[in-house]
Amino acid sequence: MKSVYIASIVVIFLAFTGVVIDAAPKRGGSQKRPKRPYEYGMVTIDNFSTKAGIAPVVFDHWRHRSKFTCRLCHLDITFAMKAKGTKIKGLNNMKGYYCGSCHDGKMKFNDKIVFAACADDVTGEEAKRCEKCHLIEPNPNNESDFWAFSENLPKEKMGNGIDWEKAEEMGLIKPIDFLDGHSKKKKIRKIEEAFPLKSKNKSLPDILFSHKKHTVWNGCDVCHPEIFVGIKKGSTKYTMLEIFDARYCGVCHSSVAFPLMDCQRCHTKPV
Could you tell me where the beta strands, DSSP code E, fall in the chain? 42-45, 57-60, 108-109, 112-113, 195-197, 207-209
- pLDDT tens by residue, 11-68: 444 444 443 333 333 444 455 777 899 999 999 999 999 999 999 999 999 999 999 9
Question: Is 269 within a domain?
Answer: yes
Residue 205 amino acid letter? P
173 has pLDDT over 60: yes
Question: Is 8 within a domain?
Answer: yes
Looking at the fold, whether 17 and 41 belong to one and the same domain comes out as no
Residue 206 amino acid letter? D
Question: Is 139 within a domain?
Answer: yes
> In the predicted model, what is the mean pLDDT of residues 139-144?
92
Q: Which of 251, 268, 168 is CA-nearest to residue 209?
A: 268
Question: Is 155 within a domain?
Answer: no
The pLDDT value given to residue 271: 63
Number of structural domains found in the chain: 3
Q: Pick from 148, 179, 195: which residue ends a domain?
A: 148
Phi, psi of 109 (to 5 degrees): -140, 125
What is the Cα–Cα distance from 257 to 74, expressed in whole angstroms?
14
Looking at the fold, whether 42 and 125 belong to one and the same domain comes out as yes
The pLDDT value given to residue 31: 58
> In the predicted model, what is the mean pLDDT of residues 102-124?
89
Question: Is 175 within a domain?
Answer: no
Q: Which of 106, 104, 99 is CA-nearest to residue 133?
A: 99
CB atoms within 10 A of CB 222: 20
